[in-house]
Structure formats: structure tokens, C-alpha cells
Structure 1
Amino acid sequence: MTRLQWSDALSLDMPAIDDGHRRFVELLDLAHEASDASLVDRWRDLLTHTARIFEREDRWMHATQFSSDHIHSTQHKVVLQVMREGLAAGESGELATIRKMAGELGQWFANHSQSMDAALALHLRKTGYDPATGVLSMPDDIALAA
């Protein structure tokens, strides 16, 4: 299976999202490269970062009344649960589980980023939402869409 690498194809041209995604790809690569002795720690780092970026995206979706927020957030919850199960397996010595998950996670992430996250980025632009400040410059557009 081909490992995920950051490329322009993954960029959503929104630094608040792209920076977190780029770091996700870096941490996933560190998990791929990890020795058996450090694999669980690298997976834990990836899980912590992933939970942080998902929580942030969920907050943005809620703040801007993103119509697909339930589907998007549910996918976040499922992926985090699977990653936690991988961590538990790794902590009990089943390192192969994490290594398999790492390969599958890259493929999932590319698809998720290019579909669901791309739609979120477009929505944030359309509503004038600034993820850095939390300021919504076109709140009427949200009210009209509701």
C-alpha cells in the first residue's frame, strides 16, 4: 500500500485546515517509520493530534451551521474510536494492528480531506468564517440558508 505524502492535491488552500492536515501526514509518516519500541508513542502522538484537529473542525461546523456537520462529525468519532482501539492493541503488544491501521488511515484521510474537508473549507469561505479568530463576517448567509 502506498503511504500518504503531503502534496498540493491535499491542500484546501486554507491554512487553518492545511497546517493541521500537513502535521497529520507528518505524524502518520513517523508512525510508519517507528521502531517497535517507539510505535505506540508515535501512534499516541498521532491520535492526540487527530483528536485536536477533529475537535476544531467540529467546532467550526457547529459555529457556522454547516449542513453536513452530523455526517462529518460522526466520521470523526468513528475514526477516533478505531484509533483508540489500535492504541489499546498496541499497548498490549499487538503492534501489527497499529501498522495495518496506519496504512489504512492514510487512504481514509486522503479521501476524507478531498471530500468532506474540502466541502467544509468551501462553506467556511462562503460564510466568511475566520477559523483563526472565530469571527463570522457574513452571518446573514447562514441565517438565510437555515
Structure 2
Amino acid sequence: MDIAADLSWNDRYLIGHQAMDDSHQEFVERVNAILRADDRQVPATLHAFVRHLEAHFTHEEHLMKAFGFPAAECHIEEHQKVLESVREVHTLVNAGDVEVARELAQALADWFPGHSDYMDSALAAWVVKKVAGGAPVVLRREMQLT
């Protein structure tokens, strides 16, 4: 089974906040890069992912604080747990266990759609309402759903 095919970027993941959508697309690309990396590439690929994830979560947490997002505590707590796991795996990979990075990437591929659908889409809706006075408008190109 091609694990990387399980999480490929498409309009289904758009939530209506351009910066968050861009960051989510990069997240998907970096998760897939870990899944596709050969053993020699895994440490550098995971390191790049860690840097992306730190910036990604920092940006979302800034939005939560700047706009008084009511569910910030729960959302930030989930980010902290994910980041803690990613950092633990980073340590293990640096010690030579590259397979654990692929397991992490698969777990993140399983986690991301739900997190984006519920937590991140709620944040995007909140921010857009505060900035523009309405709900995000999301235009999705024709998608084939299986």
C-alpha cells in the first residue's frame, strides 16, 4: 500500500483562511515527504517538518490570541501534545531509528483531516468573522470523492 497516497492535498482541506490553507498544504507535503523519504533522507526531512510544525502552530496560536478565539485552550493543548510527540520522534530518529518517523507521519496523516475539519475550520471561521464580518467563502474545484 502506498501510505503517502492516503494524505494528498486537495480542495477538501480548504478552510477559507489563506495563510492557514497555505500552511496546511505545506503540512501535507512535508508529511508525505517523510513517508516517501529513504532512510538516509528521513533525518533531514523530519527536521524540516519539525521547523514547519513549530511555525505552523505558532501562527495559529497567534491568531487565537489576537482574535480571542474561545476554544483556544483546547486547540493549543492539542498542538502541544502533537509537538511533544514529534519532538520525541525527532530525538529517536537522531539516535538512528528512522522507521519511527514513518509511523509518526502515518499517525499525522490520520490525525490531520479531523483536526483541520473541526478545530482549524472553527478558528478560520472565527477569524474571518472578526475581520470581515462573515463566514469564510471556500470554493472547491470539482473533486472525485471515493
Taking structure 2 as the reference length, the TM-score comes to 0.85
Match of 1:134 in 2: none
What are the within-5 Å matches in structure 2 for residues 1-146 of structure 1? 3-128=6-131
Task: Give, as a single letter, the amino acid of the residue that structure 2 aligns with 1:53.
Answer: H
Task: Give, as a single letter, the amino acid of the residue that structure 1 aligns with 2:44.
Answer: D
Give the deviation of 1:3 after TM superposition: 2.5
Once the two structures are superposed, what CA deviation does each residue of 1:83-104 show, in whole Å capped at 9, x if it has no partner?
Answer: 0001111111111211111101
RMSD of aligned alpha carbons: 1.6
Q: Which runs of 4+ in 1 moved over 2 A?
A: none
Higher RCO structure, 1 or 2 (CA under 8 Å, sep 6+) = 2
Please, which runs of 5 or more residues in structure 2 have no aligned partner?
134-146
- The aligned length equals 131
Task: Give, as a single letter, the amino acid of the residue that structure 1 aligns with 2:30.
Answer: L
Task: Give, as a single letter, the amino acid of the residue that structure 2 aligns with 1:64.
Answer: F
Give the deviation of 1:63 after TM superposition: 0.7
Task: Give, as a single letter, the amino acid of the residue that structure 1 aligns with 2:89.
Answer: G
What CA distance in whole angstroms lies between the structure 2 residues aligned with 1:7 and 1:107? Answer: 15
What CA distance in whole angstroms lies between the structure 2 residues aligned with 1:80 and 1:121? Answer: 21
Taking structure 1 as the reference length, the TM-score comes to 0.85
